[in-house]
Structure 1
């Protein structure tokens, strides 16, 4: 597979939305309410309207 192609991975037990400007991802269950949260030092960030794992 060429390096320019990116595979989309869905992790069904985590929200996994990436924090803007960071490599951190949300570690809460999918479909959670309120802010995204990463447990290991990245803190929390606002959830945007219409956001999905594909975002």
Structure 2
């Protein structure tokens, strides 16, 4: 796994890893919300016949 190799090579501390994990969780939540909004826009556009 590339992430494990990066951690072992750079010597990232556990605290930094926890901070990065938290950042990755926040990023995943942001991406999920963006994806949901995009899907809802597409469905709304189809309902109003904007998309053929």
Compute the TM-score of the two structures, normalised by the length of structure 1. Answer: 0.21
Structure with the largest fraction of helix: 2
Structure with the largest fraction of strand: 1
Higher RCO (C-alpha under 8 Å, 6+ residues apart): 1
